[in-house]
Amino acid sequence: MDTDTKAESEPDPETVVQTASDAAEGVIFSRYKQSAVRDCDVTAVFEDGVLEIDVYLDAPEDADDPEAVADEAALAGRSAVDELFEE
């Protein structure tokens, strides 16, 4: 495969970051009502072909294991980006 063609078909960094963020937020808000989450921050950076995604979640006091949900959200972001590159 011609490397120029491959580079042209890869998603741009903005698309990668948005895809990761959307997937992570989707997991969080599938577990908790948006109004119940006190604070949530998804930080995704895609540079030199490497995705870094961090999820901070301040969940409701009665929430079950918010750290596990944050970890699952980060994994969902990575998986969504993997799927994006497979297209």
- Whether the pLDDT of residue 55 is over 80: the answer is yes
Q: What is the pLDDT of residues 6-46, one digit of tens each?
A: 556 789 999 999 999 999 999 999 999 999 999 999 999 99
Predicted pLDDT of residue 76 = 98
Domain ranges of the chain: 3-86
Of all residues in the chain, what percent carry a pLDDT higher than 90? Answer: 78
Average pLDDT over the chain, rounded to whole?
90
Mean local confidence (pLDDT), 48-77: 94
Predicted pLDDT of residue 8 = 60
Q: Tell me, what amino acid is at 10? A: E
CATH topology for 3-86 is GMP Synthetase; Chain A, domain 3 (3.30.300)
DSSP string, the chain: --HHHHHHHSPPHHHHHHHHHHHHHHHHHHHS-GGG-SEEEEEEEEETTEEEEEEEEE--TT-S-HHHHHHHHHHHHHHHHHHHHH-
